[in-house]
Chain A
Amino acid sequence: MTNWMIPNDQFLSNTKLYWYDQSQNCKDIDTNKNVLNEWFQSTKRNHIIGWESMGCVDLTMGCTHFIESFIIGQNGIANFQVLPDEYAYYGFLGKWGTEVGELEPNKPLIITLPNYNWADLRPDWNAVLLECEQKNINIHIDAAWLTLSKDIELDLSHPCIQSIGMGISKYSLQWNRVGLRYSKQRKMDSITIFNKFYIHNVNDNLYDCARFCAERIPRDYMWDTYEELNTNLCNQNNWKQTNLIHGVWDNNEMRCITNELGLNPHSK
């Protein structure tokens, strides 16, 4: 099993220092949300289309919040399904994967894309989409790793895709987990309550900080900055490059190269 380490560098560390060192002006919730919305959509490294089909945009406290809110919205663990090779969190909850081809009709599916086991979309993604079309299964995407990805192609307007959660924390911002949920229809759940019930002064500090970071960190910062180093390391070590900046194929095994990229704060 790959031991993943979130990459960090001096620029990202300094962004955190700037936030704590400077006096801040609180911005309204819509300003913070709009900045993040534009930031997520501004990726040039990935080809995500169909944003306009996701009319409901809500602030979250990261993708784990997205997942938990989804589960609450489904009224519990029995009312959704996951695939094998998924985020360990589902297993911790006692939720185990259902094989592609055996999905239960009409029961929503939550899926991690890109998936860190392949550092890409799942190889069976097209089969999953087809099966979900045939069985009327709504798809909800946890795209936590999208910020560290390139060449991810996704059409959000696909009728089965109902929501997608994105987060900023993979830019070494675990200390201030924030994200957005894009959805075609809001349902009553934790995120809806946060955005539509606790409207005023809820987590202003959290979202102000996220906006501050998004205004300073380019959306495709990791690949824009470390692509050459990543490519050189792959060539030197006979690794196969993947779509995640800190993952490579090493003899058909996924390997985390955060250390090799010099991006592990704990190794310094």
Chain B
Amino acid sequence: MWLWRKLRSLIVIVSKEPTSELIEFKFLFSSTYWHSPPQIEILIDNKVYYNDMLCDDLNTVKFITRLDFTDHKLQILRTGKTIEESRQVDGEWETQSCSLENLSVNGIDLRNILWSKSKFVPMYDHTQSGDAVIDGECIFGYNGTWQLNFTSPFYQYIVNCVRGAR
């Protein structure tokens, strides 16, 4: 027992901080459509975590994943918008749209971080035109890819954002 405790105490000295962490992502999407709902796919580092249509007015997507302490890329691929999804009724346009209303990571509402650090790259069809990249856009009226680059450990990412380092 004495030897075991001695060995234990030696292990303590060389113990290191972890190199990965479990992170909980919680998305809230709003969705409007008259014909077919918008489709989204959520990826982190090109791994798909969610792929479905946003059928309800408000849709919550939640998952937990383990990420290494390094750079990461969170993407939302928004699809399903075609010319046929838009129509005029009594002079008013009805169309298909969706928005990322809220993203919480480990219970922290990212809010301003989304608006200042994310970008949306629309995929315009032949009838549309606009900016190639829209900073901080969380309303997905067009098909396209929304992206937020972040790092893990996530607390350090937030600390760096607040410090203005990123």
Binding site for B on A (CB under 8 A): 41, 49, 51-52, 54-56, 73-75, 79, 184-188, 192-193, 196-197
Chain B residues near A186: list those with CB within 8 A. Answer: 21, 153, 155
Contact call A55/B12, Cβ cutoff below 8 A: no
State whether B17 touches A52 (Cβ < 8 A): no
In the docked arrangement, what's the CA distance between A243 and B22, Å?
Answer: 36
Query: A74 with B153: in contact, given A52-B12, A56-B18, A185-B18 (CB under 8 Å)?
Result: no
Within B8-51, the residues touching A (CB, 8 Å) are 8-9, 11-12, 15-18, 21-22
Q: Which residues of A contact B134 (CB under 8 A)?
A: none
Set of chain B residues within 8 Å of A187, measured between Cβ atoms: 106-107, 155
Q: How many A-B contacts at CB < 8 Å in the complex?
A: 46
Further contacts, 5 of them, CB under 8 A, given A51-B15, A185-B22? A54-B15, A184-B18, A186-B155, A192-B155, A192-B159
A41 touching B155, Cβ below 8 Å: no
Tell me the bound Cα distance from A192 to B158 in angstroms.
11
Contacts of B11 in A (CB 8 A): 51-52
* A55 x B16 contact (CB < 8 A): yes
Distance of B139 from chain A, by nearest CB (Å):
26
- Whether B106 contacts A188 by the Cβ 8 Å rule is yes
15 A-B interface contacts by CB (under 8 A): A41-B9, A52-B12, A55-B16, A55-B18, A79-B107, A185-B18, A186-B155, A187-B106, A188-B106, A188-B154, A188-B155, A188-B158, A192-B155, A196-B159, A197-B163
CB within 8 Å of A: which residues of B? 8-9, 11-12, 15-18, 21-22, 106-108, 153-156, 158-159, 162-163
Expressed in whole angstroms, the Cα–Cα distance for A51 and B163 within the complex equals 32
Least Cβ–Cβ distance between A119 and chain B, in angstroms:
24
Most buried by B among A41, A52, A55, A184: A52
Which residues of chain B are near A74, meaning CB under 8 Å?
Answer: 107
Which residues from chain A contact B17 at a C-beta distance below 8 Å? 55-56
Complex Cα distance A197/B154, Å?
Answer: 13
Q: Which residues of A contact B12 (CB under 8 A)?
A: 41, 51-52
Complex partner residue of A197 from B15, B18, B159, CB under 8 angstroms: B159
Report yes or no: B156 in contact with A185, Cβ–Cβ below 8 A: no
User: Which residue of chain B has its CB nearest to the CB of A48?
Assistant: B8
